[in-house]
């Protein structure tokens, strides 16, 4: 499989503030799940607002390969005719999940409890990422997995003929692991019981209920216990996908860092297990107003209004990490431009993302003149300077690339990235959106370079 050619970009201080109203792409986590649950339901599910980035399109292709009918009717508008729980069929070819760890890990859960054989691969970045944290507990249902050293892709999966329900305590907070186990439990008789030490994003639980499954959730200290009744008949249910809060983080941060900016980001998902960054930015001094609050498809949604303000460094507690695990690179950029020191605690999970995001984030800052250190699993950023002047190695990591480009908007000498091609996996149109948000007809700030 050939990976896409590199696309270097340069980001520089804009000639005018960011202004107006924008929309960010649909929530990636919910988009993946909408396609998967639609394929596992009986009947036809209509999805609006689906993220059409490469990651989600890989999930759509995988669901087709497994026998579901997946049709695009228009921008963001899709239909899925499902085959029911246990009704998916053996794929005729290798399932290529591209750069998407979420799609790969959740799909392992679906395949583990089906009596079929499948092989899964991905791009160079995904082939480096660990899968054993998912495959080891899934094997307890009776499935068998064979992969490269460390359980990495390519991965051969032989699903269980008669899957057993799972009972498992997730050792490290991970919504992907939890969701994979719940998806496996759908096709197993009895009750699947998952305990997580800290509450992680609950889109899977919300969507399971939306499609008719019986899910019980109880608090257990700082964490939760989730029980799923196996072998339900999921019923088709339309899904409205809200704007992705992880994607909204980038234009939001840009507005906080470019003097004079005032930006409205419409229709953003506000699930409380996804909004740790918003809470953190408020503690740093940001004023984030939520307007037009509403509920869509079981998820809270609202418009976020943000404007430039001077920020201060803070200490971010480790227990907040599950609610903002994808946002630490962009938070580190904001911290570099704040006054004082910001310490982000408990970032072990960042080491197993698209890249070792902890080390890569530190390198991104250091290469642009920011004083930064790693102590154990903590990231410590010394703010107060004006970063810039460096070129960032993105390691095929879309969030690292976008974070570096936002940093360039607050820089004196600009920031370059070696490759921005992977941004489209989660945020198609990112470059155009940022350039279009520069008010008064200002010149583009993100340009080829």
- Annotated catalytic residues are 326
Are 163 and 187 in contact, with CB atoms under 8 Å apart? yes
Residue 76, burial from CB neighbour count under 10 angstroms (0-12, 13-18, 19+): middle
Residue 194 phi, psi dihedral angles, 5° rounding: -120, 130
Prior bond to 154 cis, omega within 30? yes
Contacts (Cβ under 8 Å, ≥6 apart) of 74: none
Task: Dig out the tokens for 314 from the structure.
Answer: 């803070």
Task: Dig out the tokens for 72 from the structure.
Answer: 């695009």
What does the DSSP 8-state code read for residue 223? E
Helices (H) and strands (E) in the chain, counts: 13, 24
d(CA 349, CA 354): 11
DSSP codes, 74-131: ETTEEEEEEE-TT-----SS-EE-TT-HHHHHHHHHHHHTSS-EEEEE--HHHHTS--
């Amino acid at each position: 499989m050939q990976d896409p050619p590199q696309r270097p970009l340069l980001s520089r201080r804009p000639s005018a503030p960011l202004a107006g109203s924008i929309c960010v792409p649909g929530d990636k986590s919910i988009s993946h799940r909408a396609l998967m649950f639609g394929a596992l339901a009986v009947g036809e599910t209509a999805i609006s607002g689906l993220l059409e980035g490469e990651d989600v399109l890989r999930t759509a292709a995988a669901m087709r390969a497994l026998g579901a009918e997946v049709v695009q009717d228009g921008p963001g508008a899709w239909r899925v005719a499902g085959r029911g729980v246990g009704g998916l069929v053996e794929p005729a070819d290798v399932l290529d999940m591209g750069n998407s760890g979420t799609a790969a890990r959740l799909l392992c859960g679906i395949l583990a409890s089906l009596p079929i054989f499948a092989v899964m691969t991905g791009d160079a970045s995904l082939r480096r990422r660990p899968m054993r944290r998912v495959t080891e507990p899934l094997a307890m249902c009776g499935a068998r997995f064979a992969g490269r050293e460390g359980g990495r892709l390519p991965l051969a999966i032989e699903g269980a003929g008669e899957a057993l329900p799972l009972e498992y305590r997730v050792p490290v907070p991970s919504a992907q692991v939890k969701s994979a186990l719940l998806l496996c439990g759908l096709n197993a008789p009895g009750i699947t019981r998952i305990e997580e030490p800290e509450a992680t994003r609950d889109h899977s639980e919300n969507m399971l209920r939306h499609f008719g499954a019986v899910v019980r959730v109880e608090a257990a200290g700082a964490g939760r216990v989730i029980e799923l009744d196996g072998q339900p008949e999921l019923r088709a249910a339309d899904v409205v996908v809200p704007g992705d809060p992880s994607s909204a983080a980038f234009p939001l941060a840009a507005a906080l860092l470019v003097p004079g900016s005032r930006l409205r980001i419409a229709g953003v998902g506000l699930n409380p297990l996804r909004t740790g960054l918003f809470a953190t930015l408020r503690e740093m001094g940001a004023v984030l107003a939520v307007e037009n609050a509403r509920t869509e498809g079981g998820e809270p949604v609202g418009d976020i209004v943000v404007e430039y303000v001077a920020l201060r460094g803070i200490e971010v507690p480790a227990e907040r990490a599950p609610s903002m695990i994808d946002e630490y690179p962009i938070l580190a950029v904001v911290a570099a431009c704040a006054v004082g020191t910001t310490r982000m605690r408990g970032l072990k999970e960042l080491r197993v993302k698209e890249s070792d995001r902890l080390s890569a984030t530190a390198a991104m800052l250091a290469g642009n003149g920011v004083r930064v250190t790693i102590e154990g699993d903590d990231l410590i950023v010394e703010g107060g300077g004006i970063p810039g002047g460096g070129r960032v190695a993105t390691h095929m990591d879309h969030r690292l690339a976008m974070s570096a480009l936002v940093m360039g908007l607050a820089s004196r000498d600009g920031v370059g990235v070696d490759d921005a091609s992977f941004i489209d996996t989660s945020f198609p149109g990112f470059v155009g959106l940022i350039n279009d948000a520069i008010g008064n007809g200002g010149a583009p700030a993100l340009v080829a370079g």
